[in-house]
Amino acid sequence: MKIGEIIATETTSLVAESYTLNHPPALGSLVWASDESGRTIYAIVCHVTTGGIDPSRRPIRRSTENTSDAGVYREHPELVHTLRTEFRALLVGWSDGDRITQSLPSQPPLLHYTVHTCSEKQVRAFTEESYYLRLLLNGGEPVPPEQLIVANLRETYLCRGRDDAWLRAAAKQIARLLKDDYERLMTILYAIDPRS
Amino acid sequence: MSRKRLGVVVEGAFNAGLTARLDPGSCTEDLRIGDFVTIEGERNLYFSMISDIALRSTSPGLVADPPRGMSPFIADTLSGTNTYATVEVRPMLMMGKADDHTFVEDITPPETVRTIPMHFSTLCEASELDFHIVFGREDASHFAVGTPLTMETPICLDLNRLVERSNGIFGQTGTGKSFLVRLLLCGIIKSGLAVNLIFDMHDEYAFGKESEDKQWVKGLRHLFGSRILIYSLEEAAAARAGRSVDVTLKIGLNQFEPEDVLLLAEELNLRATAEPTIGLLQDQYKERWLQKLLEMSPDEIALFCESRGAHPATMGALQRNLKRIARRPYVLKEAPFSVIDDMVAALDQGKHVILHFGRQDTTLDHMLVANIVTRRVRQLYRRKVERYEQTQKPADKPKPLVITIEEAHKFLSPAISRQTIFGTIARELRKYHVTLMVVDQRPGGIDTEILSQLGTRITGKLTDERDIEGVLMGVANRTFLRNALNSLNTRQQILITGHAVPMPIVLRTRPYDEVFYKDMGSSDLTPEGVKKDLTDLFGSRPE
């Protein structure tokens, strides 16, 4: 499903604007875009912002005594045109057909190309391996990497139909990556423990 | 050859041993100190022993603040990644790797380890074949003494090598020492590689006995019948049902030498002046010195002192003290050496002799009889060896003799080991084809010089530091063997190290039961066995 358009791109990440205001993809979810040659480039949503189109004009308070929350948008239909939702996603892999490679693509996706959410099948295929978690550990500013990983693991776990075996394998991978950083590791493990 | 993989070698040094990281699936509780494992290097197999097992973690935080609530998910995730186990492994023997098509017979025997395998060599459980390669298969000269703790593969002792040197069997009371000795004696007797002279000081070996499990077990007499000759110190023993004694042994006062008495200085309450006085007596009366001394009247003592310059009070005290010897029921005024000479002749025919002390089981009895008998036996063996060296005929070659003594610390304590015949035998090794099987519960009390001469040591549980130190005297890799020794169970588990095994190993001793009796007896029913028995009994017919 189409979800946004790329408005900034670089070697490690892309920034896209959501087609619908306030409807960005979930934090940690897998999205894809294609490049010129038709390769699929996978990315994981790491940050979302919603703000005014004109950076020089900050949004102001619109609610009154009688109007608040969704009512504000109903009273001010122009808001959907003056506000926008952007999301950033870290590039984590690419595929040229059958094989998925979990590393940075040689070229970032192109500006103004479409960003799609991944289907369950795509998520399953991509997360068969969990090397991509290494890329998440070193990016995602200003979101702490461990929170990003937690978000990704939860999204994927649910998407894979509460696949416990997969979660255990992924947790092992994280444990190996964070073997020298017990505190960060435990933050992740407590958060993804399916029993908690 | 497929072996169960346990982990990979990650670091190590030739001197310090290797460290292997256990695979996440391997549990430390499946491994034990002293277990026999195999490392598959690129070109060689390394037969090794586990010397230590350690739990490790990748970060100090985990040790300080282990996960709360023990969620299985977290525990499962951390184990094998952030927490893991390593084992310290000490390679003992190495052998070129054979491919699957090599016949077992073609495999070259393992040799002493001279190198170590590279990183990531696999650590495996030893397979049955590995045990066979290292310890040999049961045959005429290999005697299965037990099985590894976790397997049912019989582990063999090389009996040829066992009887080649003096051996020690140690362990606290109740660790199954006497059963172990029985096992080994049975092995030696069955193989016929050596003959035994057993000083049965606590009535353990000759006849059936109730074990600690309240089971009646057979004595050597029942197992081997006429191949065992029983000499006893008391006639009464012969009269007891089911206990047939072949010869009643008597010791004559003429057979005592000054050393026999001086060894017992403490026991007999002798003073330092006893030695010169006995010297004077011996000068005068030669081998009848003791008999004469005991017979002397006070006047005769005075006369002797006057003519020889001895001190009357010392003489009187000596006479009083030595009268204890004469009061022993098996001591006669005079006895020929022929009984002991006949004993040696029987040993020559391949018989095994048990000297049964019966109720005469004080230290005094043990020391007197064992010393006198052994000295004579060794004297005869020495003559035989000298004769063999002259003629160099195989027929003259004396059969190796193994002398089993219990309570060995009494004979081999540092204070007296230089004087007893046992000390001499232990030191001169197999020069005269006589070796000792030293059985003791306090190896710490034995002269260290003797301990270091022992070829094979078989040890049950020991707790006293001095005893452990004593057992490991003169053994390589002591620290690591000490760990293995400490990990033994109280019963039925032993550590064998030394000459008769290619590498140290911890074993569960084989049960001394019906199956064992059958193993020991079965060969006798074959035509060869029967023929051999007849030869043993009547001597071989001249060709």
Is the confidence metric ipTM above 0.90 for this complex?
A: no
Least confident of A115-124, B259-268, B372-381: B259-268
Inter-chain CB proximity B74 and A181 less than 8 Å: no
Cβ contact, residue pair A189, B67, below 8 Å: yes
Residue B543's pLDDT band (boundaries 50, 70, 90)?
very low
Test A179 with B77 for CB contact under 8 angstroms: no
Please list every residue in chain A whose beta carbon sits closer than 8 Å to the beta carbon of residue B73: 167-168, 171, 189, 193-195
CB contact under 8 A, B76 and A194: no
| pLDDT at site A92 | 95
* Cα–Cα nearest to B506, from B491, B490, B485, B480: B485
Name the strand (E) or helix (H) holding B528: helix B527-538
Check whether B121 has a pLDDT greater than 60. Answer: yes
Contact A49, A18 (CB under 8 A): no
**Interchain pair A189, B61: CB under 8 A:** no
- Closest in A175, A182, A183 to B77, CB measured: A175
**Per-residue pLDDT band at B537 (split at 50, 70, 90):** low
Chain B residues in contact with A183 (beta carbon < 8 A): 61
Q: Given strand B247-248, what is the order of strands in its sheet? A: B155-158, B142-148, B505-509, B493-498, B456-459, B167-170, B434-440, B401-405, B195-200, B352-356, B228-232, B247-248
B59: distance to nearest CA of chain A, Å? 5
| pLDDT band at B541; cut points 50, 70, 90 | low
In whole angstroms, what is the distance from residue B112 CA to residue B55 CA?
Answer: 30
**Inter-chain contact B59–A190, Cβ cutoff 8 Å?**
no
CB pairs under 8 A between A and B: 46
Nearest to A175 among B71, B72, B78 (CB): B78
Three-state SS at B197: strand
Average pLDDT, chain A: 92
How many angstroms separate the CA atoms of A161 and A158, rounded? 5
What is the tens place of the pLDDT at every residue in A48-57?
A: 999 999 888 8
Q: Which residues contact B286 (CB under 8 A, 6 or more apart)?
A: none
In this prediction, residues B185-212 reach a mean pLDDT of: 85
Residue B277 pLDDT > 90:
no
In degrees, to the nearest 5, what angle opens at C-alpha B18 toward C-alphas B16 and B24?
145
Residue found by looking up tokens 């170590």 in the block: B116
Q: Which among A168, A183, A195 has CB closest to B77? A: A168
Residue B77 with chain A: CB contacts under 8 Å: 168, 171-172, 174-175, 189
How close is the nearest chain A Cα to the Cα of B23, in Å?
14
pLDDT over threshold 90, residue B222: no
- Per-residue CA distances from B25 to A15, B10, B28, B458, B468 (Å): 44, 17, 10, 34, 35
Distance from CA of A150 to the nearest CA of B (A): 14
Q: How far apart are the C-alpha atoms of B389 and B380, rounded to whole Å? A: 14
Give the model confidence (pLDDT) of B134-170 as tens digits: 888 888 888 998 988 878 888 989 998 898 889 999 9
More confidently predicted of B476 and B9: B9
In angstroms, the CA B209 to CA B249 distance is 23
How do strand B209-210 and strand B352-356 relate by DSSP bridges?
unpaired
Of B62, B72, B76, the CB nearest to A182: B62
pLDDT digits (tens, 9 = 90+) for A6-43: 999 999 999 999 999 999 999 999 999 998 888 999 99
Task: Inspect the interface and report whether the beta carbons of B82 and A193 lie closer than 8 Å.
Answer: no
The residues with which B506 forms a beta bridge, in sequence order, are B495
DSSP letters along B414-451, please? TTTTTTSHHHHHHHHTTTTSEEEEEEES-GGGS-HHHH
Q: What is the structure's pLDDT at A157?
A: 94
Residues in A closer than 8 angstroms to B62, CB to CB, are: 182
Nearest-Cα distance to chain B for A152, in Å, is 18
Contacts (Cβ under 8 Å, ≥6 apart) of B27: none
Which residues in chain A touch residue B78, judged by CB atoms under 8 angstroms apart?
175, 189
- The pLDDT of B93-113, averaged and rounded, is 75
Banded pLDDT at B522 (limits 50, 70, 90):
very low
Q: What is the DSSP string of B98-116?
A: --TTS-GGGSPPPEE--S-
Chain A residues touching B58 at Cβ < 8 A: 179-180
Q: Cβ atoms within 10 A of the Cβ of A67, count?
A: 14
Q: Which of A168, A179, A194 is facing B82, going by the closest CB pair?
A: A179
Give the pLDDT band (50/70/90) at residue B101: low
Identify the residue among A177, A183, A186, A188 best suited for mutation to test binding to B, counting B beta carbons within 10 A and taking the highest. Answer: A186
* Neighbour-count burial for B177-211, b at 16+ CB within 10 Å, e otherwise: bbbbbbbbbbbbbbbbbbbbbbbbbebbbbbebee
Chain B CB contacts of A168 under 8 Å are 73, 76-77
Q: Which pLDDT does position A192 carry in this prediction?
A: 92
Nearest-CA distance from A128 to chain B in Å?
Answer: 18
Q: What pLDDT does B417 receive? A: 78
Collapsing DSSP to helix, strand or coil, B82 comes out as coil
Residue A167 · residue B76 · CB < 8 Å: no
What whole-number percentage of chain B has pLDDT above 90?
13
What are the strands, taking DSSP E only, across B23-152?
36-40, 44-57, 83-96, 111-112, 122-125, 142-148
Which of A153, A181, A183, A185 should one mutate to test binding to chain B, selecting the residue with the greatest count of B CBs within 10 A? Answer: A185
Instruction: Give the pLDDT score at B192.
Output: 87
* A35-90 pLDDT tens trace: 888 899 999 999 999 999 988 888 899 999 999 999 999 999 999 899 999 999 99
Quick: pLDDT tens for B182-193: 889 999 998 888
CA-based angle B309:B312:B316, to the nearest 5?
A: 135
Chain B residues within an 8 Å CB radius of A172: 77, 80-81
Nearest-CA residue of chain B relative to A191?
A: B74
For residue B60, list chain A residues with Cβ-Cβ distance below 8 A.
Answer: 182
Q: Look at A171 and B80 and tell me if their CB atoms are within 8 Å.
A: no
**DSSP string for residues in B114-130:** -S-PPTTPEEEEPPHHH
**B interface toward A at CB cutoff 8 Å?**
58-62, 65, 67, 71-74, 76-78, 80-82
Angle value at C-alpha A181, between A179 and A187, nearest 5 degrees: 105
Mean pLDDT to the nearest integer, B440-457: 88
CA dist B2 and A196 (Å) reads: 43
* Phi, psi (deg, nearest 5) at residue B471: -65, -35
